[in-house]
Amino acid sequence: MAAPDLTKLGKYDIVRILGRGAMGTVYEGFDPIIARRVAIKTVNLDDTDDAEAAEGLLRFRREAQAAGRLTHPNIVGIYDYGETDGLAYIVMEYVEGETLKSVLDRGERFATVDALRMMRSLLAGLAYSHDNGVIHRDIKPANVMITRDDQVKLADFGVARIESSSLTQAGTMIGTPSYMSPEQFMGQTIDMRTDIYSAGVMLYQLLTGEKPFEGSITAIMHKVLNVEPPAPSALSISVPPRLDAIVRKAMAKRPDDRFADAREFAQALATAESDTGSGGLSLAGEGVDGDATMIASSGRHAAAAPEASVRLPTPPAPAGETGGRRGLLIGGIAAAALIVAGGGTYFLLGGGHHAAQQAAPSHPSATKPASARSVKTPAPAPAPAPPVAAQAT
């Protein structure tokens, strides 16, 4: 389905194709009733008799349910969901900008104060999401949009977990290896503190220009479970040593040792920001390993690809307990991932990459000097107070 000459989908006019994958297409669309530009992500319904494709459709619907209940300036908005003419589709906010991953891949770095403000904006969106019972489970630069006016927006709730949901059971490993928490690797029950850990990894990367753990999936898992990363201030002279404790707390191996919630994390950053003053340069360089989003459960294995979800066997418990920045129009492509099933691998259309692109993206050399970058990141809007009652759908 989803032929290139598609001109209408439900009430929405189709303007152009933004990207395409094996299971669906992302379009720029237009709502003629309220004259609003939108992005429309589609998934083919024809092949849902296949078990993998059927599960992909369930997750597609769950993405609409998860993100559809969230209305916040730091979250890409979901407007509508429908199924018609052999297609399921999600209508979402059309975002002009680029992913944070695209910025980092070019070797650009943020002044320390801007990195802290960006993280506070992200955490404001996370706090609101958690208040509404939605755990993202895949916080990473590829799922963070920076708009043309430097707003920060969290995107892609394709593997999000809604509290009380039984779609993802304990024993299933979901996430992106470089940003996964210990409990995600172990297939244990997760809560909002899993997102805190992943946000801590992002903060580490923003401050230093490096991920705390890199290598193969197996190597990353070992390090996440057993190794403490170098302190950010040891890798970049622009990072005040007082930020080391914040990163260490966010990335604690045990969930109980982390910040209790996103607001506590954001408050620690706000305090540090008030003491930081002007920032400096961070180091350049980012590896490509461990960037694949994983959906892993027992009995299946598939090779990882950039921006792909793969299923791997849940690891056994360890023997011992272990403690063109503004000219690029991404539209809805990076705002939400398009899941397209192929065998045991799900390729995601996100992070500014075409769905069919399977080659690893280019990355700056670790020895390449970092370019200075200072952005006007707006102060984050305070997250609304928790709702009186949040019913899972």
Which residues participate in catalysis according to the annotation? 138
**Are 99 and 334 in contact, with CB atoms under 8 Å apart?**
yes
Structure tokens at 343: 């065998």
**Residue closest to 158 by CA, chosen among 136, 129, 179:** 136
Structure tokens at 177: 């290896």
Structure tokens at 264: 């506590």
**Are 236 and 208 in contact, with CB atoms under 8 Å apart?**
yes
- Taking each helix axis from N to C end, the angle separating 262-276 and 112-131, rounded to the nearest 10 degrees, works out to 160
- Give Cβ neighbours of residue 236 (< 8 Å, ≥ 6 apart): 207, 208, 209, 280, 281, 282, 283
Cα–Cα distance between 68 and 92 in angstroms, integer?
9
Secondary structure class of 37 (helix, strand, coil) = strand
Amino acid (1-letter code) at residue 43: V
DSSP strand pairing (294-296 vs 161-162): unpaired
**Are 168 and 175 in contact, with CB atoms under 8 Å apart?**
no
Site of tokens 């230093």: 208
Cα–Cα distance between 166 and 146 in angstroms, integer?
33
**Residue closest to 351 by CA, chosen among 170, 138, 194:** 138
Cα–Cα distance between 250 and 260 in angstroms, integer?
9
**Are 225 and 182 in contact, with CB atoms under 8 Å apart?**
yes
CB hemisphere CA count around 77 (13 angstroms): 11
- Give Cβ neighbours of residue 30 (< 8 Å, ≥ 6 apart): 12, 13, 15, 36, 37, 38
